[in-house]
Structure 1
Amino acid sequence: MTGFKTLFKSALIAAGLILPAQAQYGSGELQLFSLDYFGGQTASIRQETAQMGFSQLGDDTRSIRVRGGNWIACRDAYYAGPCLYISQDVQSLGDFGMADTISSIMPAPYDLALKHGSIFARNPAGGFTFFRRENNNTVIPFEATGTVGYGSSGSGNYGSGYNNNGSGYNQGGSYSNNNNSGYPPLDQLPYTGPRNPALIVYDETDYGGEAIGTNRDIARLWDYDFDNRISSVEIIRGEWEFCEDSNFRGDCVILTADETRLYAIQLDNRISSIREVPVGTLAQREEEERLRREEEARLLREALARADVVVYQHSNFEGRPYPVENDISGLGNTGMNDEISSIQVRRGTWEICSDGNYRGRCETISSDMPRLNGIRMNDNISSIRRVN
């Protein structure tokens, strides 16, 4: 049996639900009660308890007082099954769908960033699956997997999903801001995360509003109820990449220092995933971008030098140039469609037309045209071809 326990716990450590012995845990104590509202028989838990016996109210706990620290209470032994994240007193586990079902309890690792009331389990992909109450002793997965924290699944009941609708934790529910349940409103719980985070993100500018901290990559901010909500970031250690899509996809930006107003870099309320990158990544990418721009400039200079015609964005051969060496039936892909205001002709005679495929009104030119207003073709060219 000892070998089985060791193997089982090793698997949980690998899955990331619990941490090895050297991990930092919160200190404190849980007082368990066999009845709602802290009545009946009692038992105390001060450390990891992988298999709760009769004297510890295993499968017989209905309310919990927190005497310090954050805790994880799981339905099955060895911290398996749906688990409840606890940081405040719970007057009725039935409100979470966990009455008379708790079989193991452990202190929460400091780097497990969940809110009180979250009901969760690790899924095979390494992320979280979250649950909501179905009845007093049953929970079911959320349809929208990933919502965490507070919420009400019905009047007087707790869910594990915080509803960010501006009216508290569901109007009329046990977590509403206007009740006397003793559970604090959101603005009294501004931070969720480890005590020594490398990164803190905030849902308001200038480090305001709700915040979460992390020491690890977050592929789906939806899992933390922070998708498209970040407005400022505090970088304590390292370099971090912020991406518009989940799983580090879409447009991404690397930051090495605090950014108090993400709208200044067009990222306000647009971040869906975060990950740490090796120190020096930003400098390396900036150098790669510099070299890319230099190469593009070199190729453009060479193309301009050999071109028969050069068209310019502004009159008097100013603005962005574009080399023409062959017929172009449509200027849409060049960025110069209806943008040409002057033309330098080095060789040949050319036809310029107002529409694609050499249609519309056309003019023939064989010499430089510093201005196109005189032939009514300024910002009115969509195709160009050689006629001799």
Structure 2
Amino acid sequence: MSHTIKMKTIQYALLCATTVLAHAAVQAGEMTLFQDDHFRGRSVNVRNDVNDLSRLDFNDKASSIVVRSGSWEVCKDSNFRNSCRVLQPGRYASLPGMNDSISSVREVRRGGGGHDGGHGGNRPGRPDNNGAVLLFPDAGMRGQPVRLDNEVNDLNRYRFNDRAQSIVINYGRWEFCADANFRGRCVVMGPGSYNRIDGGLDRRISSIRRAR
């Protein structure tokens, strides 16, 4: 084999390796934890699983989060135990129910790979936590949720009228109304976990739509 052919072969191999590494970098998840709400204060950037945030001097300190890519599970105890929640890409200006209490984080692999289900604790709404909005029939994100990605002018279609007691909003700002067709008392809520619906809408939500 001539010197020129050898050089071209090496160059092609290097190009293939670079392409694979670049693709892997794009697929990797990334998340930033902030010490104060609305993305203020000290922050740490995370690209790998962290089973104990004490290693980063950030245990029980996160008050807001930006998920830049991937889906991430955040848990109240180290080693991914106790109450956990999955965050989709988005900006979480506050963390209702988990403020200053996150101790471990890890990326959720697609197809369920990478993590087993053997750790204990209360993990409401698992294993399927997809959907922009999850409406739960019981407080504390318990019970079988209804998952919604689009507006619904009457929750009777889902047999869920006046039933929601807790909510998880994975992304976007949503308007929840006491009557069908977005009438009556309405409240707008952003990303977060709401263990108990307040604002006079506990077991009173009849319609939901993306906030304008």
Q: State whether TM-score is above 0.5.
A: no
TM-score (norm 1): 0.21
Q: Which has the higher contact order (CA 8 A, sep 6+)?
A: 2
Pair member with larger Rg? 1
